[in-house]
């Protein structure tokens, strides 16, 4: 059912309400459970960052970024939503990521519906209007359905919605930063603490990332690795 059905279920005489979905709905469920005494188990929205550190192979990093951003057309709660790339690696990484997006072009299915596609494109269009550039994608295709192309954006600023909110589509917004410390500082400042990934050959940086990032899971050198397989050797 729709939200009205969910509201009645969440406010019913039950012991536990488990929710996977948006943060706004999760907060409404938490309020309902506070009134009834039920336990709320919530997995809400994510705006998961990916940090690409100096010293890793840019082609491998681009493969990881593309898998994280484009798998299931970006419709995964732990999809890569924003990318911070060390300036020393920016040119080869962006070239490789653009090529990866082209390879993903025929692998993607549609988004769940046109309303979601409109949401995704609104993030992209606002970023482009504010000064970002699309290396590939970024346009709604003609024809039926809800397909949206794999999109790589550069020149992204922290205040853009595509960097601040969960886009939930096949979009890889990239922000080039001067060093790892700035990447980590910007990645930390977010309202959605679900997951994060750091690609690095520096163990001290990996340790700093999992200590600083306020998320449930920090993955090291593997965008979809889960414990105990959440760490891998960098290439």
62, 91 contact by CB (below 8 A): no
Strand partners, 163: none
Contacts of 189 (CB under 8 A, 6+ apart): 158
Q: Which residues are catalytic?
A: 43, 77
Q: What does each C-alpha distance from 179 to 87, 88, 91 come to in angstroms?
A: 7, 8, 15
Strands (E), the chain: 16-20, 39-43, 48-52, 80-86, 133-136, 151-154, 171-177, 195-199, 217-220
Max CA distance (Å), the chain? 57
Contacts of 227 (CB under 8 A, 6+ apart): 217
């Amino acid at each position: 059912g729709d939200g009205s059905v969910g509201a009645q279920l969440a406010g019913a005489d039950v012991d536990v309400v488990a929710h996977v979905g948006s943060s706004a709905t999760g907060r409404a469920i938490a309020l309902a459970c506070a009134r009834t005494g039920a336990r709320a188990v919530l997995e809400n929205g994510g705006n998961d960052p990916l940090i690409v550190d100096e010293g890793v192979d840019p082609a491998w990093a681009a493969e990881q970024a593309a898998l994280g951003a484009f798998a299931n057309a970006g419709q995964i709660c732990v999809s890569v939503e924003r990318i911070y790339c060390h300036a020393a690696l920016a040119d080869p990484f962006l070239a490789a990521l653009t090529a990866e997006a082209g390879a993903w072009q025929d692998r993607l299915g549609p988004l769940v519906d046109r309303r979601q596609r409109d949401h995704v494109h609104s993030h992209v269009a606002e970023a482009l209007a504010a000064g970002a550039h699309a290396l590939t994608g970024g346009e709604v295709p003609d024809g039926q359905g809800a397909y949206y192309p794999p999109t790589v954006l550069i020149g992204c600023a922290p205040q853009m919605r595509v960097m601040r909110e969960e886009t939930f589509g096949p979009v890889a917004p990239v922000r080039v930063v001067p060093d790892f410390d700035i990447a980590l500082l910007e990645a930390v400042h977010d309202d959605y603490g679900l997951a994060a990934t750091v690609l690095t050959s520096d163990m001290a940086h990996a340790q700093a990332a999992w200590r600083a990032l306020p998320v449930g899971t920090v993955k090291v050198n593997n965008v979809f690795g889960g414990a105990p397989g959440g760490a891998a050797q960098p290439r």
